[in-house]
Amino acid sequence: MPEIDELRRKVGLHAAELLELPDEEGVSARHMVMNFGPQHPATHGTLRLILELDGERIVRCVPECGYLHTGFEKLGEYRTWNQFVPLSDRTQYLSAMNNNIAYCIAVEDLLGLEVPPRGRAVRIIMAELGRIADHILCVGLQGMDLGAFTAMLWSFIERERAYDIFDVCSGGRLTVSYGRVGGVAFDVPIDFEARVKVFIEKVEETVADIEGLLSRNRIWCDRTVGIGVLSREDALACGCTGPVLRASGVPYDVRRVRPYLGYEELDFEVPTFTDGDVYARYLQRLAEIKESIKIIRQLIDNLPPGPVNALGKHVLPGKDLTYSSMEELIHHFELVMPGYGVRPPAGETYCANEVPTGEQGYYLISDGSGIPYRVRIRPPSFYHFAALPKMLQGAMIADVVAVLSSLHVIAGELDR
């Protein structure tokens, strides 16, 4: 079979090793090895799948990753605790706000530091805005991948509106670096509440529009219902979390299971769907957007007054204080000098956080110096991508894109 050998050579060494095609009765001659990615528009990043096809049906799927491996975990061991914040932006780069907050919560857990109420409220609002932006974009991209381009355009507008809010708060849109150990980088501007209120009203309209466009759309349902089914047992065994797990019927949400930042005081539901298919994951994300809006509504009208930072040993004093007070100047100097700064006591922690893709955990080890000894990011996308072959077993080639976009695998987080 020279053609197949040639194909194997083209898709690389891996494919040849992995896909030892069965030779009996000429089955292999019917099968085709196809390379999907790493540079394919529907992979939304640098994901790669090696597909063994029988006609249009997928016999086997081997996901490959590592094309965006940046070594964040190694880099983290050479930076101070606060210097890791910009790196955490770049892991799940569609919800940088959530990553910042997840990382800072983990460091604060090591330090035993309490963030003041205003800081916690601002963080929750930011995290939920990030979740809305990420979920709505995911739904839009799902639409785009399946040919419903309008949904993507509408959802992109909402994401831009969310990024406008991030912009006025942090100065950045995509990589915001807004979290700081002990709070957030800056207090929110005066028109923050007004902006957020306008945003959530618009989002509600857009969500209703997208629902009207897709939820009962015949083509959409044909392409998504019953496609890429992940059973409850498989989802649990594979370590899936977030919307993917909840769409398979498991009500696991870190915000409920181990509430942080004061989520325990808020009234919100953990929506679940039982089908575990692409359509359920789409409905799941829309339902979660509505819960996020509910959470923001509860907080936005009574944002507690006071500082956003746990002022004291671990947080930089403001410039006004640094330039006017000797003690604050010394404090500032001590925090920014190498070998000083934020120094959690020796110990280790694993702190989980619900980011839009799932449970993002930080496993941190501190040796008591100003540099982390180990920074491990538990990436939800990693487990979802590994579970992809389970969902693609026996699927059609056209379903690959549908399933992949419903998992919302982010390459930056997958490869770190």
Residue numbers of the site for another protein (CB under 8 A)?
13-14, 65-66, 69, 71, 73-75, 77-78, 109-112, 114, 234, 236-241, 250, 252, 257-259, 264, 345-350, 352, 359, 361, 363, 365, 367-368, 373-374, 376, 378, 382-383, 385-387, 415-416
Give the nearer residue to another protein in terms of CB position, either 203 or 388.
388
Residue 270 tokens read as 């953990």
State the nearest-atom distance from the C-beta of 65 to another protein, in Å. 7
Give the nearer residue to another protein in terms of CB position, either 214 or 352.
352
State the nearest-atom distance from the C-beta of 37 to another protein, in Å. 16
State the nearest-atom distance from the C-beta of 240 to another protein, in Å. 8
Give the nearer residue to another protein in terms of CB position, either 160 or 233.
233
Give the nearer residue to another protein in terms of CB position, either 178 or 362.
362
Give the nearer residue to another protein in terms of CB position, either 107 or 210.
107
Instruction: Kindly list the distances between the CA atom of residue 372 and the CA atoms of 67, 78, 343, in Å, as whole numbers in the listed order.
Output: 26, 8, 9
Give the nearer residue to another protein in terms of CB position, either 113 or 146.
113
State the nearest-atom distance from the C-beta of 390 to another protein, in Å. 8
Contact 244, 230 (CB under 8 A): yes
State the nearest-atom distance from the C-beta of 259 to another protein, in Å. 7
State the nearest-atom distance from the C-beta of 278 to another protein, in Å. 20
State the nearest-atom distance from the C-beta of 351 to another protein, in Å. 9
Give the nearer residue to another protein in terms of CB position, either 192 or 363.
363
